[in-house]
């Protein structure tokens, strides 16, 4: 639901037309469909549907609508009925310029606030005692950008990092910790070698029966709440979250310890999930397990597929904890929108969990749960991306490589930049490149991770957009003009490239709303990229510092400044920083 923003020309126009349509139709309900086209700024349709109802020709209806449309001359410089009954409308330059000034005066740059919802967003969610690897990139980066956007438009956003900190592997992990001794284990883990630790524990578990027995009884102690076992478990969890935090900080992701809400947090709720399902009469027995059969799911044989909520020996599982999670988010946090930024392979699991929660009445309108699914990151061989050792590429190594590569390319591009400054910029560019490459791909698709492409200064890449921003900053720097000094200017739109740029700048709100509507950051990326290319066309055709007179120069500087602000804000909503020079 787009917010009527007072600076979006298409929204202003469509609401004026809507009123006129309603007046002609004598009732509400026919929506003018507005499209921007290359030839006219807006093209309204809808006369056809109305004509049918009124028994008139579409062109007659279009004329009648125009006659009813007060104030259209303030908005449009040209209005005509075309073809079978289209209205072709061209925005008036002064109208656009006035809106630009309003956007420039607005610290939110025209982005409206929406009706507030309480949103819980579940993202990142790595597993304890395992290294964060490339598989966590997308959930972390997409989740972070959605958090930023949802917060910016006024929602009450609760971040939840649903880390895997519970379950049977902790038996073997704790026993391995005891074998090593706490101090040695802590040293080992704080080096960041979580995977090594996990693998050693696993190897012992697989090869040593006595160890297996110890590990199993340790799980029982853990679940029974034994103090010493809980202390050791907490030690493992803390060592892992320290590592996660280091990654988040390096990436500039908003998650902190306050957002941790791992599987263990739902432990006390698990028995309740079963009793509540049972009371509702939803629980059934299948192969000795307690299950629920949400309609519409079948296995390979075509038999109904159950969601297992309690295994034979009384053990709970991932589904039980996700059901508890829904209860907690709705009943304790009073959330009305639950977002799960989780990979596409978990689609069936989440869909079954949501369906069971609906059947149980835990999840009911207007509350909703959405799986914000995403595809894989692939290596150049189009297989899951791996490191040289064959393990999934560690997140931290990936980020470090990005920064090193960015540093090298900035050094080539701008050799005069002092090293200390270059290092700071390289951090922003390297990390921005990785994030942008990820966010700019439609999240449901897989994409091939390609260093050269993502770090290129050309094309739809992070560095290109950051560079577009830095280039504008340098126009002002070179001329010794303060950016703020041009903010009281209402631009004068004369050249077609100036108009194009104005229309793009005014579409920022619509792009953000559309992105949030579909939980698809690539839509905002596309907008920012188009803004940058529209700016380039403007800059090539319209001299700024060398403009023919001072008024034109000031007007163009105002367009430059506003473009830089929208680039900066747009990238910030994606979690990407914008250096002032590169």
**Which residues in 325-344 contact ligand ARG (CB under 6 A)?**
325, 340, 342
Dig out the tokens for 4 from the structure: 């009527």
Q: Which of 495, 476, 468, 479 is nearest to 564 (CA)?
A: 468
For residues 355 and 294, the answer to whether their CB atoms sit within 8 Å is yes
Residue at shortest CB range from ligand ARG = 125
Nearer to ligand ARG, 305 or 325 (CB): 325
Q: Which of 9, 32, 46, 164 binds ligand ARG (CB under 6 A)?
A: 164
Nearer to ligand ARG, 127 or 466 (CB): 127
CA distances from 104 to 33, 142, 528, 558, 572 (A): 28, 28, 17, 9, 17
Shortest distance, position 321 Cβ to ligand ARG, whole Å: 8
> Phi-psi category of 221—alpha, beta or left, where left has phi over 0 and alpha has psi -120 to 50?
alpha
Nearer to ligand ARG, 125 or 454 (CB): 125
Q: Are strands 337-343 and 368-374 parallel, antiparallel or unpaired?
A: parallel
Q: What is the dihedral of CA 353, 354, 359, 365, to 10 degrees?
A: 160
Q: Which of 155, 162, 499, 565 binds ligand ARG (CB under 6 A)?
A: 162
Dig out the tokens for 352 from the structure: 């079954």
For residues 319 and 273, the answer to whether their CB atoms sit within 8 Å is no
Would you count residue 559 as binding ligand ARG (CB under 6 A)?
Answer: no
Taking the C-alpha atoms of residue 328 and residue 370, their distance in angstroms, rounded to an integer, is: 16
Shortest distance, position 294 Cβ to ligand ARG, whole Å: 17
Residues in contact with ligand ARG, total (CB under 6 A)?
9
Shortest distance, position 126 Cβ to ligand ARG, whole Å: 7
Task: Give 392's Cβ-side CA count (13 Å radius).
Answer: 15
Nearer to ligand ARG, 322 or 438 (CB): 322
Which H or E element spans position 45?
strand 42-45
Q: Determine the 3-state secondary structure of 77 from DSSP.
A: strand
Nearer to ligand ARG, 201 or 506 (CB): 201
**Which residues in 169-198 contact ligand ARG (CB under 6 A)?**
none
Shortest distance, position 273 Cβ to ligand ARG, whole Å: 14
Nearer to ligand ARG, 215 or 261 (CB): 261
CA angle (517 as vertex; 512, 519 as ends), nearest 5: 90
Q: Which of 41, 175, 322, 328 binds ligand ARG (CB under 6 A)?
A: 322
**Which residues in 106-145 contact ligand ARG (CB under 6 A)?**
122, 125, 127
Shortest distance, position 542 Cβ to ligand ARG, whole Å: 49
Shortest distance, position 339 Cβ to ligand ARG, whole Å: 10
Q: Are strands 377-378 and 447-448 parallel, antiparallel or unpaired?
A: parallel
Which residue ranges make up the site for ligand ARG (CB under 6 A)? Answer: 122, 125, 127, 162, 164, 322, 325, 340, 342
């Amino acid at each position: 639901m787009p917010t009527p923003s007072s600076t979006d020309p298409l929204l202003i126009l469509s609401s004026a037309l809507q009123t006129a349509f309603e007046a002609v139709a004598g009732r509400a309900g026919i929506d003018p469909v507005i499209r921007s086209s290359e030839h006219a700024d807006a093209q309204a349709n809808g006369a056809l549907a109305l004509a049918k109802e009124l028994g008139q020709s579409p062109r007659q209806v279009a004329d009648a609508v125009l006659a009813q449309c007060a104030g259209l001359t303030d908005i449009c410089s040209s209005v005509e009925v075309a073809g079978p009954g289209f209205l072709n409308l061209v925005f008036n330059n002064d109208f656009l310029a006035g809106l630009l000034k309003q956007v420039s005066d607005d610290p939110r740059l025209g982005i409206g606030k929406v009706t507030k919802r309480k949103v819980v967003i579940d993202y990142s969610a790595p597993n304890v005692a395992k290294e964060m690897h490339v598989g966590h990139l997308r959930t972390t980066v997409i989740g972070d950008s959605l958090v930023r956007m949802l917060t910016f438009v006024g929602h009450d956003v609760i971040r939840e990092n649903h880390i895997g900190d519970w379950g049977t592997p902790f038996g073997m992990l704790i026993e391995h910790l005891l074998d090593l001794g706490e101090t040695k284990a802590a040293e080992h883990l704080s080096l960041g070698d979580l995977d090594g630790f996990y693998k050693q524990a696993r190897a012992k578990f697989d090869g040593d029966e006595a160890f297996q027995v110890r590990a199993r009884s340790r799980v029982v102690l853990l679940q029974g709440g034994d103090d010493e076992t809980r202390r050791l478990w907490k030690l493992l969890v803390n060592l892992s979250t320290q590592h996660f935090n280091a990654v988040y900080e390096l990436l500039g992701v908003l998650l902190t310890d306050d957002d941790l809400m791992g599987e263990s947090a739902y432990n006390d709720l698990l028995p309740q999930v079963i009793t509540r399902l049972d009371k509702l009469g939803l629980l059934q027995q299948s192969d000795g397990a307690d299950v629920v059969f949400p309609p519409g799911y079948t296995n390979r044989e075509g038999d109904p597929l159950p969601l297992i909520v309690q295994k034979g020996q009384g053990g709970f599982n991932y589904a039980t904890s996700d059901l508890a999670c829904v209860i907690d988010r709705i009943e304790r946090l009073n959330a009305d929108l639950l977002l799960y930024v989780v990979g596409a392979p978990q689609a069936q699991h989440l869909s079954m969990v949501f369906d069971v929660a609906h059947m149980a009445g835990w999840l009911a309108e207007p509350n909703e749960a959405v799986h914000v699914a995403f595809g894989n990151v692939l290596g150049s061989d189009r297989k899951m991306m791996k490191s040289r050792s064959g393990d999934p590429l560690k997140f931290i190594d990936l980020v470090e490589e990005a920064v090193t590569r960015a540093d090298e390319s900035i050094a080539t591009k701008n050799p005069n930049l002092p090293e200390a400054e270059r290092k700071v910029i390289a951090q922003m560019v390297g990390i921005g490149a990785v994030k942008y490459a990820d966010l700019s791909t439609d999240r449901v698709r897989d994409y091939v991770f390609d260093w050269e492409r993502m770090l290129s200064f050309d094309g739809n890449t992070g560095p290109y957009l950051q560079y577009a921003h830095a280039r504008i900053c340098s126009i002002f720097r070179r001329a010794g003009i303060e950016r703020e000094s041009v903010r009281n200017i209402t631009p004068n739109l004369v050249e077609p490239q100036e108009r194009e740029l104005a229309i793009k700048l005014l579409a920022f709100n619509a792009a953000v709303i559309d992105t949030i509507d579909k939980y698809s950051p690539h839509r905002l990326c596309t907008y920012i990229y188009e803004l940058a290319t529209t700016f380039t066309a403007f800059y090539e055709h319209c001299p700024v510092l060398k403009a023919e007179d001072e008024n034109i120069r000031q007007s163009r500087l105002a367009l430059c400044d506003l473009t830089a602000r929208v680039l900066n804000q747009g990238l910030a909503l994606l979690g990407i920083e914008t250096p002032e020079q590169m």
